[in-house]
Amino acid sequence: MRKHWIDNLRWITVLLVLFYHVIYFYNNKGVFGGIGGFGDGPQYQDVVMYILYPWFMPLLFLLAGISARYALEKHPARDWFKARTRKLLVPSTIGLFVFHWMTGYFNTAVGRGLGVFDSLPGVAKYLLMAVSGTGPLWFVQVLWLLCLVLLLVRKLDKNDRLWTRCGELGIVPIILMGVLFWVGEHTLVQHPRPESLDGLWNLYKPVFYLIPFLMGYFVFSHDAVQEKVTAAWKVLMGCAVVAGGILIFTTFGQDNTTPQYLGSPLNCLYGWLMCLALMGWFKACFDSTSPFAGYMTRSSFGIYVVHYLIIASLGYMMKTYTQLPPVAMYLILTVAVFTLSPLLYEVLHRIPFIRWCVFGENHWK
């Protein structure tokens, strides 16, 4: 029986990612990427980043781990990984050269303004734009890598002994597993060197994201564990809101993506409690479906894949070539990303070959 609460939590989190990127694109907190904010004064709308960033991507990896367990119970590992490769690796490699180079065009705007970009040969420009267009596809790339790691880990637990033991955990050990969030965040390079790949490592955070992914597979794929989290979801949500409120009140204005910020105990506590609370809440209250929810379940991945082109292009042009007030830019960009992204997905996924390159869809009709 399909667990609709997982589907619903996943696509709603994806929609929150879209909104996060609208705010992030114009942030003035020093967060890497985007085009910058509107002066050096407080931008209170940036609070959205502080609310969402500690938990929404770990939650997506956690849900992916749960789904991986369910899928591997039904399909041979070889077939599952082949499907994962098509769905994840194809869009995040081949798709860069077919579609996402357009996002890269706007991401390289600074280089063009300095004259650096224009001095490059045409092939080099195209390659640079393709790589620069990776954007949110880092998530897809990391997820494919973690699927590969999972196949190796499963060989060490051939008889599901670890998986069975994890299903016996009570609510207190489940909450205490949040310590692993703190451990994972401390695998980041605390003082990244500009001339190295330290920044890329901190962006992708593969070890950190491996932790919720394996938690999903070994722990939260158990019905018994899900029931325990569901029974405590109101208390967990209350604690998460308190922890998040203290975190935001005491740190607003800082770059909330630095290793020091992410590795703080309060950030890790808030992020972990929100993951638990949201899983419990959705299982308790949103374990059903509807035509719209069914559509979003099928389409949210594709919407996620294409959405950043809308943000990068329209967001860049409004700030560079218009005198619109900031509130108008935010409103226009929000409406655009939630309307044009689904439309763009619907167009592209109907085009043979393109849908395979950009979305990893396995049909050519």
Rounded CA-CA distance 78/84 in Å is 10
Rounded CA-CA distance 306/226 in Å is 32
For residues 279, 282, 284, 285, the Cα torsion angle rounded to the nearest 10 degrees is 170
pLDDT-derived band at 340 (thresholds 50, 70, 90) equals very high
Q: pLDDT tens digits for 126-164?
A: 999 999 999 999 999 999 999 999 999 999 988 999 999
Supply the pLDDT for residue 115. Answer: 59
User: Average model confidence (pLDDT) for the chain?
Assistant: 94
Supply the pLDDT for residue 214. Answer: 98
Rounded CA-CA distance 125/216 in Å is 40
Q: Where are the alpha helices (DSSP H) in 157-264?
A: 161-166, 171-176, 179-185, 198-204, 206-218, 223-231, 233-251, 259-262
Q: pLDDT tens digits for 295-333?
A: 999 999 999 999 999 999 999 999 999 999 999 999 999
Supply the pLDDT for residue 365. Answer: 47
Mean pLDDT of 223-243: 98
Mean pLDDT of 272-290: 98
| 3 state SS of 324 | coil
Residue with tokens 């990984």: 81
Rounded CA-CA distance 66/251 in Å is 33
Q: What is the pTM of this model?
A: 0.95
Give the Cβ contact number of residue 332 at 10 Å: 16
117: Cα separation from own chain's centroid: 29
| pLDDT over threshold 80, residue 360 | yes
CB 358 within 8 A of CB 306: yes
User: Nearest 5°: phi and psi at 252?
Assistant: -60, 135
Q: pLDDT tens digits for 75-133?
A: 999 999 999 999 999 999 999 999 999 999 998 875 565 456 677 888 988 999 999 99
CB 305 within 8 A of CB 275: no
From the number of C-beta atoms within 10 Å of its C-beta (0-12, 13-18, 19+), residue 24 rates as: buried
Residues with Cβ within 8 Å of residue 277, at least 6 apart in sequence = 233, 236, 237, 239, 240
Mean pLDDT of 207-223: 98
